[in-house]
């Protein structure tokens, strides 16, 4: 059971975070205007002489808005983890008997025209205009900014870890790289993203797409290489310690 729990936790966190980053890169590659504004903010806060740190995100509201908009625009899971009613319920005239399986339609909520202006348009600025990115006058009762993690007592237990991983990856990608659509196809203009760009099902993700990814400058590339080298050194250190521990354990046996 411990091994099963560990495997489920790893799979649940790794695949969903990876899917978010696929969607993030797709959205950034199609919206050079968004990328340019984010990089301008990063240059002002972080600069070009160091890589981003976790605390930097609090000084970068536009990048926070981009992350929220990626979640809203095409969430990792169209329907949240199912729940079951423990008592008979009545909601807006609908009778829901005890034991009914209930899904929260996250995709439907995030694309409701009653809540959002142009819900099929990728526009991070909406999250600078209101807390949940909703339009003026929308009824936000019961709405939360993290519906993509589920709701109730069965909300994703790894949400804080996932947010940290997403924030750091988004910061590093935007800080270190220019991401563009296939050369010559957009020429600096935003390109639309449609449902045809995504797979269908419970956990939709981007279909294979082409983009160009290159370091923003040689200075950025040098810092990335340095960080990679340091990370490899740490990995080798743990690898060596593991080998020593295994040797000692074998000797004792």
* Angstrom distance (rounded) from CA 125 to CA 24: 16
User: Is residue 240 a contact partner of residue 247, using CB atoms and an 8 Å limit?
Assistant: no
Calculated CA dihedral for residues 45, 135, 162, 61, nearest 10 degrees: 10
Which ranges of the chain would DSSP assign to H, the alpha helix?
A: 2-30, 32-45, 61-73, 106-110, 126-129, 159-176, 218-252
Confirm or deny that 27 is annotated as ligand binding: no
Strand partners, 79: 105
The phi-psi region of residue 47 (left if phi > 0; otherwise alpha if psi is between -120 and 50; otherwise beta) is left
| N-to-C CA span, the chain | 27
Strand partners, 71: none
Q: 251: burial class by Cβ within 10 Å (0-12, 13-18, 19+)?
A: exposed
- Known binding positions: 156
- Known binding positions for heme: 156
């Amino acid at each position: 059971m411990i091994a099963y729990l560990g495997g489920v936790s790893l799979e649940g966190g790794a695949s969903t975070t990876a899917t978010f980053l696929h969607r993030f890169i797709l959205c950034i590659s199609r919206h050079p205007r968004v990328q340019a504004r984010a990089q301008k903010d990063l240059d002002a806060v972080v600069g070009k002489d160091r890589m981003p740190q976790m605390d930097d995100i609090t000084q970068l509201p536009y990048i926070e808005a981009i992350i929220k908009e990626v979640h809203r625009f095409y969430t990792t899971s169209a329907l949240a983890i199912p729940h079951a009613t423990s008592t008979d319920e009545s909601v807006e005239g609908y009778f829901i008997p005890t034991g009914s399986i209930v899904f929260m339609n996250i995709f439907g909520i995030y694309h409701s025209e009653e809540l959002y202006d142009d819900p099929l348009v990728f526009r991070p600025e909406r999250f600078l205009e209101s807390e949940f990115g909703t339009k003026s006058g929308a009824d936000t009762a019961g709405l939360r900014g993290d519906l993509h993690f589920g709701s109730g007592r069965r909300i994703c237990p790894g949400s804080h870890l996932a947010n940290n991983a997403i924030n750091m990856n988004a910061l590093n990608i935007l800080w270190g790289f220019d991401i563009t659509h296939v050369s010559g196809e957009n020429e600096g203009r935003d390109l639309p993203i449609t449902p045809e760009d995504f797979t269908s099902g419970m956990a939709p993700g981007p279909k294979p797409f082409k983009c160009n990814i290159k370091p923003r400058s040689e200075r950025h590339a040098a810092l990335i290489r340095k960080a990679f080298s340091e990370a490899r050194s740490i990995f080798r250190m743990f690898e060596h310690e593991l080998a020593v521990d295994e040797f000692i354990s074998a000797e004792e046996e």
